Chain A
Amino acid sequence: MDAMPKWADVVLIPLISLILAAILSALVILAIGESPVEALNLMIEGALGSTYGWGYTLYYATNFIFTGLAVSVAFHARMFNIGGEGQAMLGGLGVALICLYIPWPHWSLALFGAAIAAALFGAAWAAIPAFLQAKRGSHIVITTIMFNFIAAALLNYLLIGALKPTGSMEPATGKFPEATHLPSFQDMFSFGETALFRGAPANVSFFVAIIACFAVWALIWKTKLGYEIRSFGHSETAAKYAGISPTKIIMVSMLISGGLAGMMAINNVQGEAERLVLNAVEGAGFIGIAVALMGRSHPFGVFLAAILFGFLYQGGAELALWTKIPREMIVVIQALVILFTGALDDMVRAPLERMFLAMRRKGDA
C-alpha cells in the first residue's frame, strides 16, 4: 500500500514545495529592501494581467513544454538528457535551413517541414551521446553537456560564416521569407478593432506543443515502445530478462528526446525571431530539466510546470524593468523553485507521508 493517496503525491507536494520556494524568495526580496508583495503583484500583473503578458508567458511556456517533454521522455528510460540546450540549438539550425532554402507556398507546410527538420537535427545531436552511452558506457550526462558546448561553437562558426548574409555585421541568418511566417496569437485572435496579444510572440506552435504533450502521453503509457522504455527505466536487469534491448531503448528514447528538444525551434526561431540568431535558446534547454522534475515527467505536469516557468520568466522580466530588483533575482527565484520541487522533494515528502500514515492509523483505530 502506498503511504499517500495519489492526489497528495501529484498535487500537494509540488504545491507545498512551490509555496516554500515563494516564501524563501520573499525573504530574499525583503533582504534587498524591496517589498515582496509589490514584487508579486508586479509579476502577476506583468505576466498574466493582459493578453500581452499572456502572449509572452505562453511563448516561453511553449519552449519549456518542448524541452520539458524532451527531458521527461529520457527520464522514463532513466537517461538524464542535459543536452536539451544543444539539441534545441541544432533544431534552430534545421529550421533555418528549411525556411531559408526551400520556397514554401504556405506557412502550414513550412511549419510541417520545419518541425520535421528541427526534430531530425535535434535527434541527430542526441544520437551521438546516446550511441556512446549504449555501446561504450560513456555517461550520458557528461556527453550531452559536452555536446551543448560543441553545438554552441558550431552555431557560432556557421553564424559568422556560411549562414551570415554578405555585408551583415550581425552573427545571424537573414530574415526568413514571408511565406514561412507563423500566425501569432495576435494574427489569430484579434477581430476587428480589438487587437489582442498585440506584439506578443506567442504563436501557433503553442498548439503544436499541446499536440506533442498528447503524443508523448500516448507513447509512454499506451504503446509497447513506451512500456519498454518505462521498464528499462525502472530496472535494466529486468528489462534484459524480458528481452528488451538496452541499446535499442537508449537510442530510441534519446532520439525522441533530442527530437522534442529540437522542435522547440519552431517556436523561438520560426515563430518569434524569424531568423536564426546566436544564443537563440536562452537556457530553455536547462529550464526543461526543472519543468520535467516539477511535472513528474508526466506530459500534463510538464504542461502546468511550463506555464509556471513561463510566468516566472515573463514576470521576472517585468520585475527587472520596473523595480530595483536586479534581473539576477529572477534566476534566484527560479533556482529556488527548482531546488524545492526537484532536489528537496524528500524534505516535503517524508513529513507528509508520516502525516498521512498517522491519519490513516487514527482512521483504522
Chain B
Amino acid sequence: MTTAPAIELKGISKSFGPVQANKDISICVMPGTIHGIIGENGAGKSTLMSILYGFYKADAGEIFIAGQKTTIPDSQAAIAAGIGMVFQHFKLVENFTVLENIVLGAEDSGLLRPSLARARRELKALADEYELNVDPDAVVQDIGVGMQQRVEILKALYRRADILILDEPTGVLTPAEADHLFRILENLKREGKTIILITHKLREIMDATDTVSVMRRGEMTATVKTADTSPAELAELMVGRKVLLQVEKAPAQVGATILDVQNLNVTDNKGVHRVKDVSFNVKAGEILGIAGVSGNGQSELLEVLGGYEKATGQILMNGTPIDLTGAKSDGRSRRARGIAHVPEDRQREGLIMDYQAWENVAFGYHHDPAFQSGMFMNHAAIKADTVEKMARFDVRPPDPRLAAKSFSGGNQQKIVLAREIERNPDLLLIGQPTRGVDIGAIEFIHQQIVALRDQGKAILLVSVELEEILALSDRIAVMFDGRMMGERMPQDTDEKELGMMMAGMTKEDAA
C-alpha cells in the first residue's frame, strides 16, 4: 500500500481583480519530505500557501490533507488540519515572553498558569528533540531574529502541526543562522514531519529540499526531484529562458577617492543609535559592497548619503564636505553634488506607484531646466526623455503613460536605474538592487552597475544578498549593529567568514 500524500492540491485557481495569481495548480507533497517551492516574486507562491492556510479562498480547486478532502475556510481550520505556518514577517507579540507567545491563542482554559506549565514541559521536550533551543522566559523583543523564528516554529509544533510551511525563512537570517534552521528542518523531517519551503534562492533549494516545484506567472511549470536537477535548470524553469548566473567583469581600474565618510553617527527619531562611528571611502571605478543582515544600519547610512536623514560626523564628496544637518541636507542638494541614489525600497521611496512612468522619470530631477518651459513643467520633454530611457534600459512595456504600479518589479527597478544612471553621477548609491526582481532582470541590472563602474564612477552597493555582494563588489565591508566590522577583498574571503562578521564575530572571536 502506498502512503497518501500529506498534502495534495488539485486544480487550484485564484485571481485578484485582473491578476490571475494561481492558474490551475496541482501539487502533491509526500509525508516526511522537504518540498521546495521556488519562483520569482509575484509567481504566486505566497498566494498558494495563503490558500492552504485559509487566508484566501480559492476560486476553484480541491485540497486533500492526508488523503482526505478538506476545506480550509480560515486559519483555525488549517491549524486543526495539522498545518503550521511560519511567515516571512513574524507574528509575535514583542513584549510577551517566548512562553506566552507560544501559548497565545492555544490556552487550555481560562486560567493561564496551567497552560504555561504544560507549555514549558512540552517546550523542553521539543527543544531536546529538534535542537530548537530557546529561552522560554526571554522577552521576544530582546532575542535575535533567528531565535524569533525558532519561536514561530515552536508555536506551530505546539499546535500539533504535522505540516510546516516556511515562507522565505532565510530573508532575515545570517548564513550561520540559516544553516542552523536547515539542521532543525532536517530533524523535523526525520521525525516524520512534512515541510514546505518557499524561497526564491536556488542555493537553499539545492541544499535543503528533496523535491522542488517551480512556479512561473501563477502556473506550476515543473516538479522534479532535487537530486535530478541543477541550479541552472531551475533558473531556466523559473524564467523561461537560459540565464547567466555569474557576473562577468574585468578587474577594477581604481582612481581617486570620491566619497570619504568619517566617524559618521546616526540617531533616529526614536533615539536609537543606528550608525555608530562609521568610516569608509569609495573610489572612482570601484564597487564597494556593504554586506549585513537587514536592519544593522545600512538603510540609515544610505538615507544620510541620500540626504534625508540627519547625521553627525563628516562626509567628503570629491574632497569637499556635504551638509549633514542644515538646509543643504536634502535630496536635491545631494543630486546637485553628483550623488545618484537607487533606494532600497523602490515602491516606498524610489517611485510614486500611482504616477505614470514619465512622471517618475522626472522624480527628484523635476527642477532640471531641461524639464521646464516658462513657469510650467514641460511634459512633452519629460515624455520624450522617458521614451529614450525606456528604450536604453529595455523597460517593458515601453509605454511612458503606464502607471509605475503596472510594471513588474524588474521593470520598475529599471525605470529607477535609468533615471539615476543616465544622470551620469560621480557616485551611485544603490540599495538592494535586485530585491523582488526576476532573474532575467537581475542579469541586466548587474551588467548596468558594472558598466557604470567601468566608466570610472564610484558605486556604493548595499545588499542583504551575500551572493550579490560577492559577485559584484571590488571591496566588501560588513556592517553589524551599526558598526563597520571590517573590510575584505572578495578574493580573500568567503561566505563563511563574511557570515560570521555579519553576526558580529571577527576571525579572532571564532578562533
Give, as a whole number of angstroms, the nearest-CB distance from A77 to chain B: 13
Residues A218 and B366 in contact in the complex (CB < 8 Å), given A238-B352, A357-B17:
no
The A199-221 residues at the B interface (CB cut-off 8 A) are 218
Please pick, from B306, B343, B364, B376, the residue contacting A222 in the complex, using a CB distance under 8 A: B376
In contact, B364 and A241 (Cβ under 8 angstroms): yes
Please pick, from B334, B348, B363, B375, the residue contacting A231 in the complex, using a CB distance under 8 A: B363
Bound Cα distance A161, B367 (Å): 50
Q: Tell me whether A237 is interfacial, beta carbon within 8 Å.
A: yes
Please pick, from A1, A2, A224, A241, the residue contacting B366 in the complex, using a CB distance under 8 A: A224
Q: Tell me whether A353 is interfacial, beta carbon within 8 Å.
A: yes
In contact, B363 and A238 (Cβ under 8 angstroms): yes
Q: Tell me whether A135 is interfacial, beta carbon within 8 Å.
A: no
The A interface is mostly helix, strand or loop, or mixed, namely: helix
Residues A224 and B341 in contact in the complex (CB < 8 Å), given A3-B17, A241-B350, A243-B334:
no
Please pick, from A222, A223, A238, the residue contacting B349 in the complex, using a CB distance under 8 A: A238
Q: Which residues of chain A come closer than 8 Å to B403, judged between CB atoms? A: 2
Give, as a whole number of angstroms, the nearest-CB distance from B412 to chain A: 12
Q: Tell me whether A175 is interfacial, beta carbon within 8 Å.
A: no
Bound Cα distance A235, B349 (Å): 8
Q: Tell me whether A240 is interfacial, beta carbon within 8 Å.
A: yes
Flag A316-357 by CB within 8 Å of B: 1 or 0 each. Answer: 000000000000000000000000000000000000010001
Please pick, from B18, B333, B352, the residue contacting A234 in the complex, using a CB distance under 8 A: B352
Q: Which residues of chain B come closer than 8 Å to A222, judged between CB atoms? A: 376-377
Q: Which residues of chain A come closer than 8 Å to B364, judged between CB atoms? A: 241-243
Flag B330-363 by CB within 8 Å of A: 1 or 0 each. Answer: 1111110000010101001111111100010011
Bound Cα distance A2, B376 (Å): 28
Q: Tell me whether B307 is interfacial, beta carbon within 8 Å.
A: yes
The A233-259 residues at the B interface (CB cut-off 8 A) are 234-235, 237-238, 240-245
Q: Tell me whether B406 is interfacial, beta carbon within 8 Å.
A: yes
In contact, A243 and B307 (Cβ under 8 angstroms): yes
Give, as a whole number of angstroms, the nearest-CB distance from A358 to chain B: 11
Give, as a whole number of angstroms, the nearest-CB distance from B42 to chain A: 15
Q: Which residues of chain A come closer than 8 Å to B351, judged between CB atoms? A: 238
Give, as a whole number of angstroms, the nearest-CB distance from A6 to chain B: 12
Give, as a whole number of angstroms, the nearest-CB distance from A179 to chain B: 34
In contact, B377 and A227 (Cβ under 8 angstroms): yes
Residues A223 and B343 in contact in the complex (CB < 8 Å), given A238-B348, A240-B331, A357-B18:
no
Nearest residue, chain A, Cβ from B336:
A243
Q: Tell me whether B308 is interfacial, beta carbon within 8 Å.
A: yes
Q: Which residues of chain A come closer than 8 Å to B348, judged between CB atoms? A: 235, 237-238
Q: Which residues of chain A come closer than 8 Å to B367, judged between CB atoms? A: 224
Q: Which residues of chain A come closer than 8 Å to B341, judged between CB atoms? A: 241
Q: Tell me whether A228 is interfacial, beta carbon within 8 Å.
A: yes
Q: Which residues of chain B come closer than 8 Å to A243, judged between CB atoms? A: 307-308, 330-335, 364
Q: Which residues of chain B come closer than 8 Å to A228, judged between CB atoms? A: 366
Give, as a whole number of angstroms, the nearest-CB distance from A10 to chain B: 15
Please pick, from A223, A237, A244, A360, the residue contacting B376 in the complex, using a CB distance under 8 A: A223
Give, as a whole number of angstroms, the nearest-CB distance from B346 to chain A: 9
Bound Cα distance A353, B19 (Å): 13
Bound Cα distance A228, B330 (Å): 14
Please pick, from B17, B362, B363, the residue contacting A353 in the complex, using a CB distance under 8 A: B17
Q: Which residues of chain B come closer than 8 Å to A244, judged between CB atoms? A: 331
Please pick, from A224, A237, A245, the residue contacting B330 in the complex, using a CB distance under 8 A: A245
Give, as a whole number of angstroms, the nearest-CB distance from B150 to chain A: 32
Give, as a whole number of angstroms, the nearest-CB distance from A236 to chain B: 9
Bound Cα distance A223, B367 (Å): 10
Bound Cα distance A357, B16 (Å): 11
The B208-234 residues at the A interface (CB cut-off 8 A) are none
Bound Cα distance A96, B335 (Å): 48
Please pick, from A224, A241, A245, A360, the residue contacting B343 in the complex, using a CB distance under 8 A: A241
Nearest residue, chain A, Cβ from B367:
A224
Bound Cα distance A227, B372 (Å): 12
Q: Which residues of chain A come closer than 8 Å to B330, judged between CB atoms? A: 243, 245
Bound Cα distance A357, B341 (Å): 38
Bound Cα distance A158, B331 (Å): 47
Q: Which residues of chain B come closer than 8 Å to A238, judged between CB atoms? A: 348-352, 363
In contact, A3 and B18 (Cβ under 8 angstroms): yes
Residues A227 and B362 in contact in the complex (CB < 8 Å), given A2-B403, A222-B376:
yes
Q: Which residues of chain B come closer than 8 Å to A227, judged between CB atoms? A: 359, 362, 366, 377
Give, as a whole number of angstroms, the nearest-CB distance from A18 to chain B: 25
Bound Cα distance A243, B306 (Å): 9
Q: Which residues of chain A come closer than 8 Å to B345, judged between CB atoms? A: 237
The A177-210 residues at the B interface (CB cut-off 8 A) are none
Nearest residue, chain A, Cβ from B329:
A243
Bound Cα distance A353, B350 (Å): 29
Please pick, from A3, A224, A231, A360, the residue contacting B352 in the complex, using a CB distance under 8 A: A231
Give, as a whole number of angstroms, the nearest-CB distance from B382 to chain A: 10
The A1-30 residues at the B interface (CB cut-off 8 A) are 1-3
Q: Most chain-B Cβ atoms within 10 A of its Cβ — which of A222, A241, A353? A: A241
Bound Cα distance A79, B131 (Å): 53
Residues A223 and B375 in contact in the complex (CB < 8 Å), given A231-B352, A240-B308, A243-B334:
yes
Q: Most chain-B Cβ atoms within 10 A of its Cβ — which of A2, A231, A238, A243? A: A243
Q: Which residues of chain B come closer than 8 Å to A2, judged between CB atoms? A: 403, 406
Give, as a whole number of angstroms, the nearest-CB distance from A226 to chain B: 8
Flag B395-410 by CB within 8 Å of A: 1 or 0 each. Answer: 0000000010010000
Bound Cα distance A218, B350 (Å): 26
Q: Which residues of chain B come closer than 8 Å to A237, judged between CB atoms? A: 345, 348-349
Q: Which residues of chain B come closer than 8 Å to A240, judged between CB atoms? A: 308, 331, 349
Bound Cα distance A357, B334 (Å): 45
In contact, A224 and B355 (Cβ under 8 angstroms): no
Question: What are 23 of the A-B contact pairs (CB < 8 Å)?
Answer: A1-B18, A2-B403, A2-B406, A218-B376, A222-B376, A223-B376, A224-B367, A224-B377, A227-B362, A231-B352, A235-B349, A237-B348, A237-B349, A240-B331, A242-B331, A242-B363, A243-B307, A243-B331, A243-B332, A243-B334, A243-B364, A244-B331, A357-B18
Residues of chain B having any CB pair with chain A under 8 Å? 17-18, 306-308, 330-335, 341, 343, 345, 348-355, 359, 362-364, 366-367, 372, 375-377, 403, 406
Residues of chain A having any CB pair with chain B under 8 Å? 1-3, 218, 222-224, 227-228, 231, 234-235, 237-238, 240-245, 353, 357, 360
Q: A3-B17, A223-B375, A241-B306 are in contact. List 20 more A-B contacts (CB 8 A).
A: A2-B406, A218-B376, A223-B376, A227-B359, A228-B366, A238-B349, A241-B308, A241-B341, A241-B343, A241-B349, A241-B364, A242-B331, A242-B363, A242-B364, A242-B366, A243-B307, A243-B308, A243-B333, A243-B335, A357-B18
